[in-house]
Chains A and B, each alone.
Chain A
Amino acid sequence: MAAVDDLKFREFDDAAHLLAANPDATTISIDEPAEAHKNQHSRRQEPGREEDDELLGTDDSDKTELLAGQKKSAPFWTFEYYQTFFDVDTYQVLDRIKGSVFPVPGRNFVRLYVRSNPDLYGPFWICATLVFAIAVSGNLSNFFIHLGRPTYRYVPEFRKVSIAATTIYAYAWLVPLALWGFLMWRNSKVMNIVSYSFLEIVCVYGYSLFVYIPTAILWIIPQKVVRWVLMIFSLCLSGSVLVMTFWPAVRDDNRRIALATVGTIVLLHALLSVGCLAYFFDAPEVDFPAPIIPAHNGTTLITKVK
């Protein structure tokens, strides 16, 4: 009787009452300085074990998974349900961003940062910032490239903002949906140890796009070599975050399917960055004699260079 009651989620009674009901239960108390001190003390005693647990992420994630399973209990048509996806503090968002920019080999982004608490704040606002960063930087770079040419008239190219928005948001939401569906399907055939929820995949994709924001700003520099180096560099960084996240999820599967999945992820990511570079940023270092009217459409210039 006590066991069944304990499995049900209920409001937090005071610890004494719960302990009286089931003396063997583990109680996790937050905001108790004595408890925190004890935890710190035990951490210091076994640093080796802590490291292993951190790498595997099993110790914390077990406890937090219990809590996470009980968190989203509001029905989906209430406001509180969506509030659970924004339950992050500033330092958490900053940590996740740092984790996406400096991927450490062997450390899984989801396991380390997101496991208990996927949020929608990061993906949404990173995508929004990226949209505007690309549009503004593209506009600026075109302005500087064509500066001084007598027949060039500056236009703000506002249409491109909506195109950028559609592309980036579609990528950040539809590709995770497809990937999640694919992983679910493979899970039903092959029992994988690691499986991600849809929100966690969206989270990883959203945060992995962060490194493109400074890249887009640096793409203003009108040197072809610089732009390609930047693109490859950022592709490696964000691609590695994605690969390290999804490799454990597919490696138990058939070898070829696993490689194909990871390859597709990287390929789509590369297509996004190459497409953005080609569409929003005109080709630099193009020498036209004065009478030629420069085209506003970037592709015409690119074909002429090639």
Chain B
Amino acid sequence: MYPKKSSTLLRDWDLWGPLVLCVSLALMLQGGSADSKEDGGPQFAEVFVIIWFGAVVITLNSKLLGGTISFFQSLCVLGYCVLPLTVAMLVCRLVLLAGSGTVSFIIRLIVVIAMFAWSTLASTAFLADSQPPHRKALVVYPIFLFYFVISWMILTFTPQ
């Protein structure tokens, strides 16, 4: 989580943490527009698929570009770095309970942006080191896009 972790911790990967985070995030995003209108918010399955498919694609991308990190280590890092965004989602739901005006939107915006920056920086710190030097930006950009999409889903969440 904090970019100062040593690489030995990286070897002990596990996918339970990411799974729990992903499920809780998808559950929290589920409540929006639960009526069966055509244009609603993302459903549980969609969020789940986006997170896992996105993580797999980013891992494949970094390995294809010549990265030395293993497949599951990378999935583990990307999954754990969803934690700040899950926290942001929790905060957003609490703020929305209090009201959904402009002030609440600004609070949510600031929180989401801060957590998005934290997620991206944390996972970049882990993953960029395993890349050849001329390709770091090529690996970091998809991570940025991935967390941007998740942040967008969190920010645009509207309760029923």
Contact = CB atoms under 8 A, between A and B. Distances in A.
Contacts of B20: none
Contact of A89 (B32, B41, B135, B141): B135
Contacts of A139: 156
A38 to B, nearest CB: 24
B142 A160 contact: no
A128 B145 contact: yes
Given A132-B145, A156-B32, A156-B153, A83 B137 contact: no
Interface of B: 32-33, 37-43, 46, 61, 63-66, 134-138, 141-142, 145, 148-149, 152-153, 156-158
A118 to B, nearest CB: 14
Interface string A58-96: 000000000000000000000100110110111101000
25 contacts: A83-B64, A86-B61, A86-B64, A88-B138, A89-B134, A89-B138, A90-B136, A90-B137, A90-B138, A91-B134, A121-B138, A125-B141, A125-B142, A136-B152, A154-B156, A155-B41, A156-B33, A156-B41, A156-B153, A156-B156, A157-B39, A158-B39, A158-B41, A296-B38, A296-B39
Interface residues of A, dominant DSSP: helix
Given A156-B32, A156-B40, 5 more contacts: A90-B136, A93-B138, A153-B158, A158-B40, A159-B39
Contacts of B152: 132, 136
Contacts, number: 72
A264 interface: no
Contacts of A42: none
A155 B134 contact: no
Contacts of A132: 145, 148-149, 152
Of B40, B61, B156, most buried by chain A (CB within 10 Å of CB) is: B156
Interface residues of A, number: 26
Contacts of B141: 125
B158 A158 contact: no
Contact of B65 (A86, A157, A158): A86
Contacts of B64: 82-83, 85-86, 121
A293 B54 CA distance: 37
A296 B39 CA distance: 8
A62 B61 CA distance: 30
Given A82-B64, A156-B32, A158-B46, A90 B135 contact: yes
A157 B153 CA distance: 11
A121 B61 CA distance: 8
A128 B148 CA distance: 12
Interface in A134-190: 136, 139, 153-160
A254 interface: no
Given A93-B138, A125-B142, A132-B149, A156 B42 contact: yes
Contact of A154 (B61, B137, B145, B158): B158
Contacts of B137: 90
A108 to B, nearest CB: 25
Interface string A111-126: 0000000000100010
Nearest to A142: B39
